[in-house]
Chains A and B, each alone.
Chain A
Amino acid sequence: MRGSDAMPPNSFKDDLVAEIKNLRAFAISLSGSVSLADDLVQETLLRAWSKSDKFQPGTSLRAWLFTILRNIYYSNYRKRAREVQDSEGVFARRVTVSGDQESHLDLEDFRKAMTKLPAEQREVLTLVGASGLSYEEAAAICHVEIGTIKSRLSRARAKLVELLALEETSEGLIERRLRHAG
């Protein structure tokens, strides 16, 4: 094999192994819990293995796996996820996201804000904004139109801006507080 560029094609198993990190990152983002995410990933891998004949070579394995994981999540885990989120600190590490001075964001604050979004918005943020999937792939994974993906995305961003109080002008902030005070 050495010196030859005609390497044998990866086996389905190797391709699966290469996707586990992304699958787990999606699962944690979606469920808000590392322990639930690990169960989800385990179940997804089992199902993917047993249904490997359903995968169409040449299409995105990541998108296919995300679809399976998402289906399992909504049919079996969603309720559990809500219970776990309340009682369990989701992420252990504290990291500050670097940026220019005005837009420093603490990653833990960001993650807390993420857990306050509806799952439909969280998943779209993760799929399109972080995992590098296209609008088309996200739409196929979530079984909705591309326009729905786009509107969920903009609602999610607006909500995060609000939760993290990222408005630039203090005037805007004050206005909002006044409105809340009613």
Chain B
Amino acid sequence: MGARARYGFVVAAVLVAVLPLLLSNGYYQSVLVFIGINAIVALGLNLLMGYAGQISLGHAAFHAMGAYASGILTATYHVNPWLAMACSVVFASAVALVVGVPTLKLSGHYLAIATLGVGMIVSIVLVQWVSLTGGTSGLTDIPTLSVAGFPLNSDLRYYYLVWGVCLLLTLLSINLVNSRFGRALRAIHVSEVAAATCGVNVARLKLQVFVLSAAYAGLAGSLYAHYVHFISPERRFGFPFSIEAVVMVVLGGLGNIWGSLLGSGTVTALGEFLRQFGDYDVAAFGLILMLAMIFLPQGISGGLARITLRRRPAPTPAAPPQEVAHR
């Protein structure tokens, strides 16, 4: 990480530490927790979409796998919650591996279709496999996480857990894209043939990133389950959330790690705000997104970068989204 990125990270960490103390209202604190959980999903999906150039339309399914694996293991089988969380990450990753091996050998957008299918299957399983998932009535009594006997049972405590994890994953993601691995990823996004003739195993790399992004979504699902203590086949575990996650990544800025956090913050907060408009919230959401895409085609992070670049002499026209994260 360069000096500038390190500085940015410290600023973000301070902001994360102070923000909930300024917003002592429990509702706001819980919204911040959801922003953090969604940001973890968006971080993983951004590695896949913004760097490997592949789209997943079923990330809600991996999120659901994480949440339900944690929920079932702890509520039904009384497994230690941390162990259950680790299992849920492994489970989501393993399913991604099974889906990814045949589809990522092909170039093109086969992954998008395959993940769409996974999303549908998972939605149906959650409702129909009543003995395991609780069906439409869901799973209750998912226990609270605790650290060395100290329960994370308030919004504020859970906030620090979720955002600690989120910042850690942000750091790991930044490291990842600025390595040999990340350069190869960015290269296949531009030209798979050129990357392959440089010796990059394109199919394997895409598979690794896809599995990693599923692991992020699964971990976020587990964090969600232990926060709300009750999960059911809701919006969050179906197609709408898969799309929301894609929107977070695109709105935040494809190929910009910090953009995922901004995107999650914007989309999650906007969703909460628009709730008061009842059924019109979806329409309003769509309109805002359209405007954002017209005026901020490179996402929020790209827009911010353009403003800062404008102040410099000889700005590069139409700064591509990738360059921001690596400066």
Does A associate with B in a complex?
no
Residues of A within 8 A of B (CB): none
Residues of B within 8 A of A (CB): none
